[in-house]
A = this chain, B = another copy of it.
């Protein structure tokens, strides 16, 4: 592997001139620059990332800290990781993966290794020990999700209010008024998992905006749990004509559970799956109507904000992105209403 010294010799200049030409850190005569570039081509030279990082104290490496082996976001998490890596690359950064749960010591150790210039933290909880560690370390970081009181911290999160306005509004426009929510597990609330808590708040607010009462049932993120939850809704509110479900695995179970209870989807009860992807939703029959997570956009926004902060080119970045409605076949007019078909209508 050629070094910068090799390039310098071949171009008959000093090492520092090569460095300055590459970094545009001081003017270089056009002619010399040309000779340098030629030498670089001929040698196939690339700057050594390690040496550059050591000398400049800018490693151009950022970390993605995410909870290993959790599948809350299973559907979109891969998109998320991929787009984050891609965005980092677009900015000339490498992305390393730190698959860690709330292990403060492990995080501190990785931070202290001095490899990365910043961290993107996925799946941030309302109270998140990882955030405390990072804040204490002084290392730049941005959150995907956000704590209860983000203050001036950077984040990119889902706009739950807008998302539930869309969900409830869509159902309302089709004549539904008995709209239930099947949210993530109660344990998520206790664990201060943001989406579950915020979805519930947003749902209640959206419902009250429409002067409607709500019914909330909690469910684990599995098909059988969703099935049971559907039964609970039917018992608790037999006149329910629409259900908003937080998890797509649960949503699949909800459809089955409704069928068990003698309700057909969407003729009797409409179902909307929150934070899903259309690919997953297509596996159910009927195909679920979804509000898709903006996984790709979140990943990119998080990395972009982090890079901006590292390079001190930007103030606090706090972004909220709504889920987008993706029509399937699980939503229809409420019984007795006389409008149009919601899913197929433009």
Contacts and interface: CB of A to CB of B under 8 A. Distances in A.
Scoring A50, A54, A69, A98 by chain B CB atoms within 10 A of each residue's CB, the highest score goes to A50
Given A99-B85, A280-B283, A283-B283, A115 B50 contact: yes
A335 interface: no
Interface stretch (A160-168, A193-201, A234-242, A248-256): A248-256
Nearest to A95: B97
A82 B54 CA distance: 28
B61 A96 contact: yes
Given A74-B78, A89-B99, A46 B114 contact: yes
Contacts of A255: 285
B283 A114 contact: no
A32 interface: no
Nearest to A1: B114
Given A249-B283, A279-B71, A97 B114 contact: no
Contact of A50 (B54, B71, B109): B54
Interface string A50-73: 110110000101001000110100
Given A1-B114, A99-B85, A249-B283, A59 B50 contact: yes
A310 interface: no
**How many identical subunits does the complex contain?**
2
B97 A85 contact: yes
A341 interface: no
Given A49-B113, A95-B96, A280-B280, 18 more contacts: A44-B112, A46-B112, A46-B113, A47-B113, A48-B54, A50-B50, A61-B96, A69-B79, A69-B82, A78-B81, A86-B99, A89-B98, A96-B97, A97-B97, A222-B282, A249-B282, A252-B282, A252-B283
A328 to B, nearest CB: 11
Nearest to A70: B82
